[in-house]
Every structure is written in C-alpha cells, then in structure tokens.
Structure 1
Amino acid sequence: MGGVSKKPISNVEKRMKKEMEAQQKKASGKKTSKTGSEVISKNIVISNEMIKRVQDEIKKEKIITPYELATKSNITISVAKRILKELNSQGLIKESFKNRRTAVYMAA
C-alpha cells in the first residue's frame, strides 16, 4: 500500500563515500586486503644474497621450519617454503619430516 520509501540521507552518504574510496583505490593501483593492509606482489624473486642469509640461519639451528625461517629472515612463509625446497633439491639441507601442513628440515 505504501510504496517504496526514500532511503535515509545517512545511507546515501555512506554509499557515496564507498564509491569515492573505490575510485581512489583504482587510481592508486595498490591492492589492499580485507584487513586493510597493503598486498605485496607474489612474484618475489629469490636472490643469491637471500639464499646466503638463509644458509647462515640454517647453520645456527639444528632443525628449521618455514615459520622459523620466515620470522628470522623477515620474509613471507611461502617464500621461506620455496627457499627450503630449493635448498633441499640442491642437497644443502635434508627434509626430516613432512606432512600436509608443514615440513621440518635439518642441516645436511
């Protein structure tokens, strides 16, 4: 009977604010996650310098996990996993335990 009611001004303002923020994000070109932190590109190149730093860290420890390496070297866990897999394939370290979630490596 009543028909469609007008939306409150506060809702219209919120919608306009969201649209402006979306336009600014597109203009800046930087991606952000749901938490608001900036997303870093996943195409990280592993340099020889980084591998040497990791080897120094491995020499100090008896066992190493991707999490420990990531926290000590200030890199992401996915990069730490790739580095450890590479070192394992080269024979510099050996994999002592692995399940679907994580792997544990030992110095060779």
Structure 2
Amino acid sequence: MSSKREKAATKKPAKKPVTRVTTPIQVDYRYTVSIEDIVSRIESEASKGIVKYYTPYTLAQTLNIKISAAKRALREATKRGILKLFSGGRRSPIFVLAK
C-alpha cells in the first residue's frame, strides 16, 4: 500500500488550456421601438383604412415587437380615441377603429 505522502508526491500531468469559441451576439431589435412610434403607426394605418381590426398578436407580427408592447400600444391608442375595444377577451382582445 502506498501512503498518503507518496500519493501527494506524484503529481498529475497539467491539463491543456481550453480554448472557447465565441459566437457573435445577436441583437434583438424588438426592444428599441417606443410606444409612441407604435401608436403613431396605428393612427396612420387607421386613417388610411388599411387595417379593419387589431389584436395584440397581429400588431406584434406586423411590427416585429413583443406582444406585451403591442398590448400597451393598443391600450394607449384606445385612451387617445383612435381605437375602441370590440371584444375584451382575456387572451385576445379585439380592437376596431373608433371612427
């Protein structure tokens, strides 16, 4: 049997340094759009008659924003009188033009 001193005296070979590959970071542009810009876009589309109704999902898909930002923008457009709530379901509220 070998003693603890003999085990401590025999060193393990040094490990090679690990090289890590870095991947480029992708920037998510969905955070950079302000609510005011979204509301102005809704107002311009509403005045032209391009869209008949909005849901948070459709707005998020067309403008490439988060659904939470779309919900906030639709609520703000309702406060300004651009849109009105047609169906206030919890999951998918539907907003139509107020005019």
Deviation at 1:55, TM superposition (A): 2.2
Q: Distance in 2 between matches of 1:57 and 1:69?
A: 11
Which residue pairs with 2:36 in the alignment?
48
1:11-26 correspondence to structure 2 within 5 Å? none
Flag the structure with higher helix content.
Answer: 1
- When residues 57 and 77 of structure 1 are mapped into structure 2, their CA distance, relative to the original with a 3 A threshold, is farther
Which residue pairs with 1:86 in the alignment?
76
Structure showing greater Rg: 2
Q: TM-score, normalised by structure 1?
A: 0.54
Aligned length: 79
Per-residue CA deviation, residues 12-67 of structure 1 (Å, 9 max, x unaligned), is: xxxxx9xx9xxxxxxxxx9xxxxxxx796xx8673533321222334411111111
Letter in structure 2 aligned against 1:56: S
Query: Alignment RMSD, CA only?
Result: 3.0
Unaligned ranges ≥5, structure 2: 1-17
Q: TM-score, normalised by structure 2?
A: 0.58
Is the CA contact 1:54–1:73 (under 8 Å) kept in the aligned structure 2?
no
- When residues 57 and 97 of structure 1 are mapped into structure 2, their CA distance, relative to the original with a 3 A threshold, is same
Among residues 57, 66, 69, which one is paired with 2:59 in the alignment? 69
Helix, strand or coil at the partner of 2:34: coil
